[in-house]
Amino acid sequence: MTEVRRAGAVPASLWERDEEVATITRAVDTLCADRSSPGTLLEARGEAGVGKTALLAETRRIAEARGCTVWSARGGETLRSVPFNVVRQLLQPALVSMLPEEAREYLGDWYDIAGPALGIADPGERQADPQGVCDGLVAAVRRLSRREWPLVLLIDDAHWADQETLRWLAALAERLDETSVLVVIARRPGDVSGDSARHLDAATAVGRPLAR
Ligand SMILES: Nc1ncnc2c1ncn2[C@@H]1O[C@H](COP(=O)(O)OP(=O)(O)OP(=O)(O)O)[C@@H](O)[C@H]1O
Ligand SMILES: [Mg+2]
């Protein structure tokens, strides 16, 4: 009953996507219902032109209508080798609005480790441990998801995201229980290989596919 009413409250702008839109709406409602709700990851997987970007746009519309903060980023075929490019894009709205002291407070002990990856702290002399940076970014998103709740993160063209971002995404997916955030990613089935494919598959294995 409730679902029918809610679906009716959102004018349909996509053809034949009722099931996907209902899943997204439910996930947004779960997020908005409770600050401590566990996070959700949804995956729209499909070939070029099937409507993945359109579905992300619809997600933004639904989420913003319910008062969510929505941040988005996309992978770029020519930017795959730029470490942390996509996660930096994604968190940009928070990073640009934070004063350095605030960022230090939000990242806490992780500031020196994850700060350089986010472009907000100078890299130190030592080469950062990749796992440490990844953990630091997961911790940063956990804090941001509390500060910005209800927070929705959209990642388009995830098959073209840089490997460091995908590693972070897999780690975040594993810890969604502790992070009240909705993550929706769009990806083509191919176009990704090696470690990137491994991380992306690990992330989406935890998440739920939107009907394709
Ligand atoms: N269900 C739908 N109803 C109406 N229009 C749609 C629907 N799905 C897709 N479209 C339209 O079809 C075109 C292609 O969709 P879209 O760009 O979302 O595909 P995509 O899956 O993101 O492709 P790519 O993998 O190339 O990024 C767009 O103009 C979009 O607005
Ligand atoms: Mg697209």
Q: Helix (H, G, I), strand (E, B), or coil: what is residue 44?
A: strand
The pLDDT tens digits for 158-184 are: 999 999 999 999 999 999 999 999 999
Distances (CA, A) of 209 to 38, 51, 71, 87: 17, 14, 20, 21
Query: Do the domain assignments include residue 184?
Result: yes
Domain annotation covers residue 18: no
Helix (H) or strand (E) holding 146, with range, is: helix 130-147
| CA pair distance 169, 87, nearest whole angstrom | 9
Mutate to test the pocket of ligand 1, among 19, 53, 154 (most ligand atoms within 8 A of CB): 53
Cα 58 to Cα 21: distance, rounded to the nearest angstrom = 8
Instruction: Report if residue 171 sits inside a domain.
Output: yes
Separation of CA 209 and ligand 1 centre (Å): 17
Alpha-helical (H) ranges within 34-99 are 52-65, 85-97
Q: Is residue 13 part of a domain?
A: no
Mean pLDDT of 183-212: 88
Boundaries of domain holding 70: 26-211
* Domain annotation covers residue 21: no
Question: CA–CA separation, 68 vs 33, rounded Å?
Answer: 11
Sheet holding 40-45, edge to edge: 69-74, 151-156, 181-187, 40-45, 208-209
Structure tokens at 79: 């930017």
- What's the predicted TM-score (pTM) here? 0.91
- Mean pLDDT (whole number) for 7-31: 82
Computed over every residue of the chain, the mean pLDDT equals 89
Give the total number of structural domains in the chain.
1
Q: Return the half-sphere exposure (C-beta side, CA atoms, 13 A cut-off) of residue 68.
A: 31
The CATH code of the domain that includes 194 is 3.40.50.300
Q: How far is the CA of 34 from the centre of ligand 2 (A)?
A: 31
Q: How many CB atoms lie within 10 A of CB 124?
A: 11
pLDDT for 205 beyond 50: yes
pLDDT digits (tens, 9 = 90+) for 121-156: 887 777 778 888 899 899 989 989 999 999 999 999
Closest C-alpha residue for ligand 1 atom 16: 51
